[in-house]
Structure 1
């Protein structure tokens, strides 16, 4: 079976996700000085407008806040220099190629762990990572204080007792939840061209998995003839405002840490219930690699994704987030059996009801067991209705195919339409009707990557992924692996 031509896949993606309309408009993010943030906390707090800025930016619908004067530019430059050193001297980064020809190289680690893939980056990154954690902690503390003032004591019960505490407060969701750090370098390739960049976005419209993302705005590195590096704020980051309009965000040198709300805020809204004064909004955003006429230019980006603690209880499903995620990993149709507000199906990390299956980006340590089948970076359990033996008994073969056009998964391409199905070995056509049809495709915004958003640099045989080691039994490790995969290519 031949893979669908790239132009066909891109056409399908554009139909579902739309495009960033050319615009000369730029949007300045709400800004809060880190020094004012610190002065508003503690017994000697100074009366200022910090609370109103946080409320306006994060609790009433915008969903974006930039913290200034938090990280010296020299420290950010040192971080970018270390990233380039790793990029130039090692092959430890995970690489993804996007439809516009942009290549992204990534180093990732839990926020609580050191980067083990590049020592130079690990040493320089630690102070920045620590500072980002402190900024997020202080913002969360004030968000919680504002909610309490308005009569909302947000508490997510825990599956097990936590030193006698009834559950997680909003501040503790930030401090105790899973946090993932990602360091990205975006670069041009031979396939990058002006015509492609004019027609395609590097990363299409989406909202991020997790309830918040804290990131350093992207910076472009250009080297002059004397090999002197210059880092300048990158263009090409677009958001959708509450009124539905799209704007390019104008970041400057003073924007140190930007907080962007993600799909997980839907669950915080569920805990708050109805309140006309509180509107937590996941922010749809997209990214276009700037075309600055220098093929050697690099775009640097660092961000931290914040996720719910695994033992926090989901406010509507009344199970732990870890248990729900594991159930979805074992059976991607699990969410369809749940009930929420009279409707069937409730997503784990999304702000709207939609078809959702757990997907993860395969890494060097992840393999499916003998009773599972790998399809789009997910280990699907064999069932009585669908397994290699079931397909073979009908003179068919089990394969990972697209429910849109029946194309065969290449082992790397990302697309939520890929699912296991029995196909005919003779003509390699799809014989089974797949439940997640194109009509159920997620419309903007999406918590899962858009189809064909990224293509890996290499193509591996799917069968290699199905032969592997024993399935991990540890809940935390399994769920964390799933989450890491989801996040690796969602962040900008």
Structure 2
């Protein structure tokens, strides 16, 4: 648990939004959901969420002052959360990916999970009518089932104003040694507290020599008695895993679990939960209420697509623009004009279309799946012979969840200072690529990477609807992968399929056998980035052998490895 301080104007933002929230509760209590807690405290709630690329409204247009104050307050918290996620991501020494989807889309880092996750937001008002202080806490000792929660210290109000002195609630935390202490926070701080998602997702992926082990923080809340004009106001933002990520050790996704809870299919409190874990019925009720929050995009201006609210105007797909095209509907589709409800990762965007075609897999290449003879012992080793090369390295991927060899990189350092290299891949030919990572780039350095890639068809004529359909070759080119920021954040091949113009590679070609694939080239640079032939480069590689549509390689067919070109030394693959 940490507190972040010195956020510009945050103390003022906190007071203004909590006072405005209290006024909204007082004037429009019918809009809030009320829950009795174990000690007799009554908690009222206004709920919303922030999904990727969009903070959603709280649905209280009657509360203009609150809605206005919430804008800058939520923006400050959003920036702080994303900075925290980036910093913690760099500290964690974990195996990648942390999570994956059933279709093979990876969330490689802690930052990736936070960026793609649902962030549930709540303003709470706590009132505990007269009586002696209870020995029973309002919320018993528990850990949040989110990845972490960011919250502001509670603010006691009297008559809607901040009094000179007021009884404080006791926020108690359990330390690692089992002892309990009352936590005290600076008034203008944003507090970040890790939840049980850290235990489930991050800790199992820590390396054996990790220098930092994050810990979920058990905590409880005890309320003082409040006078009729008094109330405690609080705000929290719980970060949950991406809905389409698979729950570790299970076959269901977090979205499946959420839907099951909403439908009442999960009754065992030890089962999959995403709200507050353990404890009493009030906590289970809280979990179900949290899970019931659905993404609501701004009506008429955005659509829920690719797990976020996408602005229709950015894609020339506003309601008016679609109406002008003969009354077309606004839908979330892929480049093949197939629609989705927005709960899929991939190349999806808003468009004006009346398609009724649901998403289907693209056609596979002619030799997929491979013949059984391809799996015979020694077959790939013979194809990927390193004879004639001074150095080589295994391209380590995964087969299911088990590490396995997916290919081989072999090379010679020439007297000219250039590298003569060959990459062999244990699969059919969809594409094969290797290059220099983009340090700090998204998706573990893939976005913005400079690479050389072999494709079975002409990249210049590639379209997402037809894939690579011009198979006159060979086609070995240099590229710069999209940075994941431009083009509305997509890194689909369609936005970077034009090869890098200032060519460095020469003597390039490939071999596509029935079972295996390889490419070779001579170069001193990848798409303008020079190789450090006297030192070490961090290489990034990926390959795919299922279709000719430049589909996602998934987590099993990609990796990173540091290489010392001059002496042939290879560190452990990342």
TM-score by length of 2: 0.44
Which of structures 1 and 2 has the larger relative contact order (alpha carbons within 8 angstroms, sep 6+)?
Answer: 1
Q: 2:16 aligned to 72, 78, 87, which one?
A: 78
Report deviation, 1:279: 2.4
Query: What does residue range 148-227 of structure 1 map to in structure 2 within 5 Å?
Result: 150=93, 152-160=95-103, 166-189=106-129, 192-194=130-132, 197-223=133-159
Give the Cα separation in 2 of the matches to 1:239 and 1:308.
24
For structure 1, which runs of at least 5 residues remain unmatched after alignment? 1-63, 337-344, 367-472, 478-492
Cα shift at 1:333 = 5.8
Moved more, 117-126 or 137-146: 117-126
TM-fit CA distance, 1:347:
3.7
In the alignment, which residue of structure 2 is the partner of 1:259? 192
Judged with a 3 Å threshold, the aligned counterparts in structure 2 of structure 1 residues 294 and 335 are, in CA distance, closer, same or farther, namely closer
Deviations, residues 414-456 of structure 1 (Å, cap 9, x unaligned): xxxxxxxxxxxxxxxxxxxxxxxxxxxxxxxxxxxxxxxxxxx
Number of aligned residues: 287
CA distance in 2, matches of 1:154, 1:232: 48
1:107 is aligned to: 46
Task: Please point out which of 266, 275, 288 is paired with 1:360.
Answer: 288
Confirm or deny that 1:286 pairs with 2:220. yes
Matched residue SS, 2:101 = strand
1:167-221 C-alpha deviation (Å, 9 max, x unpaired): 34210211210111100111232xx311xx2322111111112111000011112
How do 1:122-133 residues align onto structure 2 when only pairs under 5 Å count? 122-133=67-78
Checking the alignment, whether the CA contact within 8 Å between 1:328 and 1:335 is kept in structure 2 is: no
Match of 1:241 in 2: 175
Q: Give unpaired runs (5+ residues) of structure 2.
A: 295-339, 345-574
* 1:40-85 alpha-carbon deviations (Å, 9 max, x no partner): xxxxxxxxxxxxxxxxxxxxxxxx0100111432221111221121
Once the two structures are superposed, residues 451-473 of structure 1 have per-residue CA deviations (whole angstroms, 9 ceiling, x without a partner) of: xxxxxxxxxxxxxxxxxxxxxx9
The alpha-carbon distance between structure 1 residues 175 and 298, as it changes in their structure 2 partners (threshold 3 A), is same
Q: 1:318 to 1:231 in 2, by over 3 A?
A: farther
Provide closer, same or farther for how the CA distance between residues 296 and 274 of structure 1 changes in structure 2, counting only shifts above 3 A. farther
Q: Specify whether residues 206 and 475 from structure 1 end up closer, same or farther in structure 2 by C-alpha distance, changes over 3 A only.
A: farther
C-alpha separation in 2, matches of 1:258 and 1:312: 27
Shift, 1:127, TM fit: 1.0
Alpha-carbon shift at residue 119 of structure 1 (Å): 3.4
How far apart are the structure 2 equivalents of 1:319 and 1:365?
Answer: 19
Structure with higher strand content: 2
Residues 167 and 224, structure 2, Cα contact 8 Å, conserved in 1: no
Residue 352 of structure 1 deviates from its aligned partner by 9.7
Q: Are the equivalent residues in 2 in contact too, given 1:223–1:230 (CA < 8 A)?
A: no
Cα 1:133–1:155 shift into 2, 3 Å: same
- Alpha-carbon contact 2:117-2:240 (below 8 Å) kept: yes
Cα separation, partners in 2 of 1:96 and 1:228, compared to 1, 3 Å? closer
**Structure 2: distance between partners of 1:181 and 1:272:** 29
RMSD over aligned CA atoms reads: 3.9
- Within 5 A, what are the aligned runs for 1:442-453? none
Q: 1:276 to 1:75 in 2, by over 3 A?
A: closer
Relative to structure 1, the CA distance from residue 105 to residue 303 in structure 2 (aligned partners, 3 Å threshold; closer, same or farther) is: same
Q: 2:238 aligns with which of 297, 305, 311?
A: 305
Once the two structures are superposed, residues 111-169 of structure 1 have per-residue CA deviations (whole angstroms, 9 ceiling, x without a partner) of 2201112333221112111111111111110111112xx4644532233466xxx4342
Contact 2:4 2:191 in 1 (8 A): yes
Change (3 A) 1:93 1:230: farther
Kept in 2: contact 1:183–1:301 (CA 8 A): yes
Of Structure 1 and Structure 2, the greater helix share is in 1
Q: Is the 8 A contact 1:220 1:298 kept in 2?
A: yes
Q: CA deviation at 1:328?
A: 5.8
Helix, strand or coil at the partner of 2:217: coil
1:250 aligns with 2:200: no
Cα pair 1:270 1:315 within 8 Å, conserved = no
SS in 2 for 1:81: helix
In the TM superposition, residue 252 of structure 1 has moved relative to its aligned partner by 2.5
Provide the rounded CA distance (Å) in 1 between the counterparts of 2:168 and 2:236.
15
d(CA) in 1 for partners of 2:260, 2:246: 14
- Paired residue secondary structure (2:289): coil
**Contact preservation (8 Å) 1:235, 1:290:** yes
The answer for the alignment partner of 1:146 in structure 2 is 91
| 1:326–1:475 CA contact under 8 A, matched in 2 | no
Tell me how far apart the structure 1 counterparts of residues 219 and 278 of structure 2 sit (CA, whole Å).
Answer: 19
Residue in 2 aligned with 1:430?
Answer: none
